[in-house]
């Protein structure tokens, strides 16, 4: 249940209202928009007489029941788009960003080369896996701490903010200088990890699980927001279906649906969705057309020799060509890239 307050409510009046609600056993959180403050109640609100609250508290403009299980991420609670500040680069509400880089950081030479090239092509954030979730325990697991060190070096060289995946909460202290913490598809419902990244003050890129519904994705984002972190970016990266000719099936309808249901920015990762280099460009164009706020695209200086996900990685020339095309489409949508 939410109560939308009249504009210009004083702090003592707001505190008194919250005290009265909490005295009845509800938890509350505030959502502050440009015009209105919204008080959201958590708990079994069936016993509350909505009209009585509105009539007896003259700071309340109106009340509304929120039927969905997700509250903080719900657009009903917070109608304006959330803009995430990813190391100075804004995502959401007309700001479109392209995150690019290799699946895994492999060497200093590789990450610096890729970082400089994708930046020159127009990417605004650098990605690179240091801790890699792999299906096989015998596969390359990433350079781990050394990978983070090399990513930070690439950030210093290029100025690009960095996005990298955390696999469990014990690794979080190592992410101090990382700009965006990625929670991968396989960890979308690792609730302890979600709570812990929710307690950090860093933007979180939350990828949709391989077989998770949009409601489950939103509930995972709710875990992060319920710990006080509202800087969450959702990522559609393909889901598992009966189709075997692509690695996953890109669920494009997820983008406009999520944007109706939540105020959080939504980006698309066509690389992991397709698993095939040749599909990355058309799916990236489709993502822009359906209203995505950004893209994550895997690139490599030598995809044939990549230690991970080479088949879906664009080489640096292919990425540059794609960006030339995407820049026009992003501008056509009336969106801006880079810093505002
Ligand atoms: C990745 O981004 O490298 C990755 C492992 O993605 P996902 O979690 O979507 O599979
Ligand atoms: Mn990958």
55 and 91 in a single domain? The answer is: no
114 and 256 in a single domain? The answer is: yes
pLDDT band, residue 340 (cuts 50/70/90): low
| Whether the CB of 207 sits within 6 Å of ligand 1 | yes
Domain boundaries, position 20? 2-64
| Whether the CB of 184 sits within 6 Å of ligand 1 | yes
pLDDT for 36:
86
pLDDT for 33:
82
Answer whether residue 71 shows pLDDT above 70: yes
Q: Which residue has the higher pLDDT, 142 or 34?
A: 142
| 105, 106, 125, 129, best to mutate for ligand 1 pocket (most atoms within 8 Å of CB) | 129
46 and 124 in a single domain? The answer is: no
* SS3 label, residue 52: helix
pLDDT for 27:
92
50 and 133 in a single domain? The answer is: no
Encode pLDDT of 223-245 as tens digits.
999 999 999 999 999 999 999 99
pLDDT for 231:
98
pLDDT band, residue 338 (cuts 50/70/90): confident
Q: Which ligand is nearest to the CA of 268?
A: 1
Answer whether residue 34 shows pLDDT above 90: no
pLDDT band, residue 35 (cuts 50/70/90): confident
Tell which residue, 61, 40, 64, has the closest CA to residue 50.
Answer: 64
101 and 41 in a single domain? The answer is: no
pLDDT band, residue 43 (cuts 50/70/90): confident
Report CA Rg, the chain. Answer: 21
97 and 52 in a single domain? The answer is: no
Residue 308 Cα to ligand 2 midpoint, Å, equals 6
| Whether the CB of 103 sits within 6 Å of ligand 1 | yes
Encode pLDDT of 158-195 as tens digits.
999 999 999 999 999 999 999 999 999 999 999 999 99
Q: From CA 234, how far away is CA 236, in angstroms rounded?
A: 7
182 and 276 in a single domain? The answer is: yes
Bridge partners for 37 per DSSP: 32
> CATH code at 24?
3.30.70.1140
Q: Which ligand is nearest to the CA of 180?
A: 1
CB under 8 Å to 143, separation ≥6 — which residues?
104, 105, 106, 130, 150
* SS3 label, residue 56: helix
> CATH code at 149?
3.20.20.70
Residue 166 Cα to ligand 2 midpoint, Å, equals 14
Closest residue to atom 1 of ligand 1, CA basis: 103
Would you say residue 275 lies in a domain? yes
Closest residue to atom 3 of ligand 1, CA basis: 103
Average pLDDT over residues 282-311: 98
Encode pLDDT of 114-158 as tens digits.
999 999 999 999 999 999 999 999 999 999 999 999 999 999 999
Closest residue to atom 6 of ligand 1, CA basis: 184
pLDDT for 288:
98
51 and 108 in a single domain? The answer is: no
151 and 269 in a single domain? The answer is: yes
CB under 8 Å to 36, separation ≥6 — which residues?
4, 5, 7, 61
Nearest ligand 1 atom to the CA of 184 is 8
When divided into structural domains, the chain yields a total of 2
Query: Model pTM?
Result: 0.96
């Amino acid at each position: 249940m939410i109560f939308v307050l009249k504009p210009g409510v004083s702090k003592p009046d707001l505190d008194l209202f919250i005290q009265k609600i909490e005295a009845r056993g509800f938890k509350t959180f505030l959502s502050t928009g440009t015009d209105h403050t919204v008080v959201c109640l958590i708990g079994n609100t069936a016993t509350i007489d909505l009209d009585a609250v509105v009539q007896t508290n003259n700071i309340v403009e109106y009340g509304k029941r929120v039927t969905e299980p997700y509250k903080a991420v719900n657009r009903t609670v917070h109608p304006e788009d959330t803009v995430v500040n990813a190391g100075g680069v804004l995502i959401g509400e007309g700001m479109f960003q392209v995150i690019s880089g290799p699946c895994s950081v492999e060497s200093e030479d590789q990450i610096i080369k890729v970082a400089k090239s994708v930046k020159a092509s127009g990417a605004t954030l650098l990605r690179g896996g240091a801790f890699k979730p792999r299906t096989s325990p015998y596969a390359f697991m990433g350079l781990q701490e050394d990978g983070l060190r090399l990513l930070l070096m690439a950030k210093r060289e290029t100025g690009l903010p960095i996005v990298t995946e955390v696999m469990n909460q014990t690794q979080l202290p190592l992410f101090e200088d990382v700009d965006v913490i990625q929670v991968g598809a396989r960890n979308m419902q690792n609730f302890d990890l979600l709570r812990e990244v929710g307690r950090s003050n860093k933007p979180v890129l939350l990828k949709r699980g391989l077989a998770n519904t949009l409601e489950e994705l939103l509930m995972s984002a709710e875990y992060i927001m319920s710990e006080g972190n509202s800087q969450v970016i959702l990522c559609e990266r393909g889901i598992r279906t009966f189709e075997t000719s692509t690695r996953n099936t890109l669920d494009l309808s997820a983008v406009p649906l999520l944007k109706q249901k939540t105020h959080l920015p939504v980006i698309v990762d066509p690389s992991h969705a397709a698993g095939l280099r040749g599909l990355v460009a058309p799916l990236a164009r489709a993502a822009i057309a359906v209203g995505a706020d950004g893209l994550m695209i895997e690139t490599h200086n030598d995809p044939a020799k990549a230690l991970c996900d080479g088949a879906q990685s664009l080489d640096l020339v292919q990425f540059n060509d794609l960006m030339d095309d995407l820049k026009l489409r992003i501008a056509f949508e009336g969106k801006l890239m880079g810093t505002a």
